[in-house]
């Protein structure tokens, strides 16, 4: 496995913010990701916390908009944010809508043509990218956490619930909590995974948590003024399933907050501390 290519780097709170590119086996093309290295990563390996971004985002949104680096520097956390879909090669129709295809990989391994050849974001996030990071960067293999926003919150919950042996902590901002029951999820799953809804259950956090719990507490923040709350996000479905299975869950409904990065900025420090407590 070759080392990733550095595209750019920037000093940030005593550490370094870098942007990388590499050739991915899973997506059969180039992929980009960002990494924040806290100051202590110069001396030793540190826990790695993976952030999965939402619809229309890239690997740049989180490092540029979250204001996470200052707290990550103090806590000694490496922050890794992959892109949200393959960018090359382009697939006909991949940009026909903003909520499917380009910038909207939904963190699944597609099984339907033409998406199956490149849209393998679940395997990329859970297997290929951590292996690349741990082989080339000062990341502790035994200390991985994962979190995300919206589509990425869905991805983080699914990755953690399906791989409790690979992740020691998980949290989410405004996740698409029950994708099988909302228009965004139904559109993505129908196109990526096909008509057999049974195959969708492997990528639905509400379905997963009803059958299998994550060893630690799941932290979720959700703004009460989020315009997508009632139709697309459905946190109440996840809460009911978690209650039924006995999953430890801390869902915080935050009055006055919407779906954007101002919401994430406000609570990012608490999420980082949630992860640091379990990763260190």
Region 104-120: mean pLDDT is 98
User: How much is the average pLDDT of 111-116?
Assistant: 98
For residue 57, what pLDDT is reported?
98
Q: Is 226 a catalytic residue?
A: yes
For the chain, percent of residues with pLDDT exceeding 90: 99
pLDDT score, position 1: 66
Task: Report CA 135 to chain centroid distance, whole Å.
Answer: 21
* Mean pLDDT for all residues in the chain: 98
For the residues 15-24, what does the mean pLDDT come to? 98
Is 150 catalytic? The answer is yes
Asked whether residue 13 carries a pLDDT value surpassing 80, the answer given is yes
Instruction: pLDDT band for 2, please (50, 70, 90 cuts).
Output: confident
10 beta partners: 17
Q: State pTM to two decimals.
A: 0.98
Mean pLDDT of 134-154: 98
For the chain, the straight-line distance linking the first and the last C-alpha, in angstroms and rounded, comes to 28
Options 81, 226, 271, 274, the catalytic residue: 226
Mean pLDDT throughout 42-49? 98
- Which of 150, 154, 169, 171 does the annotation list as catalytic? 150
Is the pLDDT at 102 greater than 90, yes or no?
A: yes
Within 8 A by CB and 6+ apart from 55, the residues are: 84, 98, 99, 103, 104, 150, 151, 184
Say what the pLDDT of residue 71 is. 98
Q: How far apart are CA 176 and CA 164, in angstroms?
A: 20
24 included as an active-site residue: no
Catalytic residue among 149, 154, 259, 271: 259
Three-class DSSP category at 143: strand
Residue 280's pLDDT band (cuts 50, 70, 90)? confident
pLDDT tens for each residue of 177-191:
999 999 999 999 999
């Amino acid at each position: 496995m070759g080392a990733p290519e550095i595209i750019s780097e920037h000093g940030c709170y005593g550490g370094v913010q870098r942007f990388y590119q590499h050739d991915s086996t899973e997506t059969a093309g180039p992929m980009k990701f960002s990494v924040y290295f806290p100051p202590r990563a110069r001396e030793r390996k540190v826990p790695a916390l993976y952030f999965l971004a939402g619809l229309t985002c890239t690997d740049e949104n989180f490092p540029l908009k979250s204001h996470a680096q200052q707290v990550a520097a103090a806590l000694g956390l490496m922050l890794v944010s992959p892109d949200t879909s393959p960018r090359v090669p382009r697939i006909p129709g991949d940009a026909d809508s903003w909520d499917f295809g380009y910038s909207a990989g939904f963190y699944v391994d597609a099984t339907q043509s033409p998406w199956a050849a490149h849209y393998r974001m679940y395997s990329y996030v859970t297997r290929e990218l951590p292996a690349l990071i741990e082989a080339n960067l000062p990341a502790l293999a035994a200390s991985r956490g994962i979190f995300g926003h919206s589509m990425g919150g869905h991805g983080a919950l699914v990755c953690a619930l399906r791989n409790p042996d690979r992740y020691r902590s998980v949290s989410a901002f405004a996740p698409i909590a029950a994708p099988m029951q909302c228009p965004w999820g139904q559109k993505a799953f129908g196109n990526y995974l096909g008509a057999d809804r049974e195959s969708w259950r492997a990528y639905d956090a509400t379905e997963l948590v009803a059958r299998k719990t994550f060893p630690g507490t799941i932290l979720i923040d959700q703004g009460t003024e989020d315009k997508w709350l009632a139709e697309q996000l459905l946190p109440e479905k996840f809460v009911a399933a978690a209650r039924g299975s006995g999953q430890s869950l801390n869902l915080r409904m935050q009055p006055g907050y919407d779906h954007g990065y101002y919401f994430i900025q406000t609570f990012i420090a608490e999420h980082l501390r949630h992860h640091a407590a379990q990763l260190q």
